[in-house]
């Protein structure tokens, strides 16, 4: 492996004219490793992730994913690239009335023909992979359960499984643990980190919990008001750096 998976170049985003939310973000992600983005509410962390997977249209800049600029892609070409980017959400975004295994398989929807998708007829290989993954996630006994019958932690495992079913080459997670208790949060981060490492998938995670970020990040990116103001190792994230990112320091006492 090795090389660069993602290169964000001078990305800007204005939802409304003259009010930039991203003000020239540049970032390179290698083909492995966990990058955690921290920063105050409103800093633009979610906007950055959403620009990368094109849920949000960037205003200017380039987003090179495996060398191809996603910003210029449209239609089928965009869909083909985008299905290689897995997304994990804070609120899980499962289909509540579907079973756990069907939720996992929905990660394959970008690959099967529309009529197969409509009939929910997935190839045998996908079904085998889904059950293998379910086992790795420790959810085998829940395969036939409806998603809405699971706990938050179990639901997020399904969310991770669905993203991995896409066979992603990049995994994005927007506050994947913010709805979970501290112990479950650690377990979810452990699961996501180890499954991503096994598969050599780079991960970019937004979160507010600085201690959790330090524990799992190979690299931390600090954002303030639409700019990257820190980019380094967890050990280099000093009190001074935290005060640059979040402002003030009284809150740290
Ligand atoms: N769809 C939208 N339309 C207009 N403004 C938006 C939209 N989404 C976000 N914003 C604004 O962009 C700014 C950055 O929001 P964003 O959600 O990216 O921040 P964040 O760092 O993820 O914050 P949080 O930590 O609270 O999740 C905020 O001022 C927000 O109000
Ligand atoms: Mg956010």
Give the model's pLDDT for residue 249. 83
The CB of 15 under 6 Å from ligand 1? The reply is yes
Assess whether pLDDT exceeds 80 at residue 60. yes
Which residue is listed with tokens 């979160």? 207
Query: Whole domain around residue 223: which residue ranges?
Result: 4-252
The band of 116, judged by pLDDT with boundaries at 50, 70 and 90, is confident
Pocket test for ligand 1, best of 12, 13, 40, 45 (most atoms within 8 A of CB): 45
Ligand found nearest the CA of 15? 1
pLDDT tens per residue, range 199-220: 999 999 999 999 999 999 999 9
The CB of 42 under 6 Å from ligand 1? The reply is yes
Q: Which of 236, 176, 233 is nearest to 204 (CA)?
A: 176
> The domain that contains 20 carries what CATH number?
3.40.50.300
Assess whether pLDDT exceeds 90 at residue 110. no
Q: What number is the average pLDDT over the span 41-61?
A: 96
Give the model's pLDDT for residue 18. 85
Assess whether pLDDT exceeds 90 at residue 243. yes
Q: Residue 23's CB: how many other CB atoms inside 10 A?
A: 15
Give the model's pLDDT for residue 129. 96
The CB of 17 under 6 Å from ligand 1? The reply is no
34 alpha carbon to ligand 2 midpoint, in Å? 18
Q: What number is the average pLDDT over the span 116-136?
A: 88
The band of 99, judged by pLDDT with boundaries at 50, 70 and 90, is very high
Q: How many domains does the chain have?
A: 1
């Amino acid at each position: 492996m090795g090389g660069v998976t993602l290169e964000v170049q001078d990305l800007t985003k204005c939802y409304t004219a003259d009010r930039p939310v991203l003000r020239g973000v540049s970032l390179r992600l290698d083909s492995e490793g966990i990058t955690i983005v921290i920063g105050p509410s409103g800093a633009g962390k979610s906007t950055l992730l959403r620009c990368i997977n094109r849920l949000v249209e960037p205003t200017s800049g380039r987003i090179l994913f495996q060398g191809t600029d996603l910003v210029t892609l449209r239609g089928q070409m965009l869909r083909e690239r985008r299905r290689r980017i897995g997304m994990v959400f804070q609120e899980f975004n499962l289909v509540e009335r579907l079973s756990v295994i069907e939720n996992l398989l929905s990660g394959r929807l970008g690959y099967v023909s529309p009529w197969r998708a409509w009939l929910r007829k997935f190839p045998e290989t996908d079904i085998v992979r889904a059950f293998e993954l379910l086992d790795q996630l420790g959810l085998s006994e829940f395969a036939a359960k409806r998603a809405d019958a699971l706990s938050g932690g179990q639901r997020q495992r399904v969310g991770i499984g669905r993203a991995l079913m896409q066979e992603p080459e990049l995994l994005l997670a927007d506050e994947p643990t913010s709805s979970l208790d501290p112990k479950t949060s650690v377990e979810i981060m452990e699961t996501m980190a180890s499954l991503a490492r096994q598969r050599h998938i780079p991960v970019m995670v937004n979160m507010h919990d600085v201690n959790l970020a330090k524990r799992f990040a190979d690299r931390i990116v600090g954002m303030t008001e639409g700019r990257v103001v820190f980019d380094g190792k967890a050990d280099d994230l000093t009190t001074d750096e935290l005060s640059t990112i979040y402002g003030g320091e009284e809150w740290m006492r």
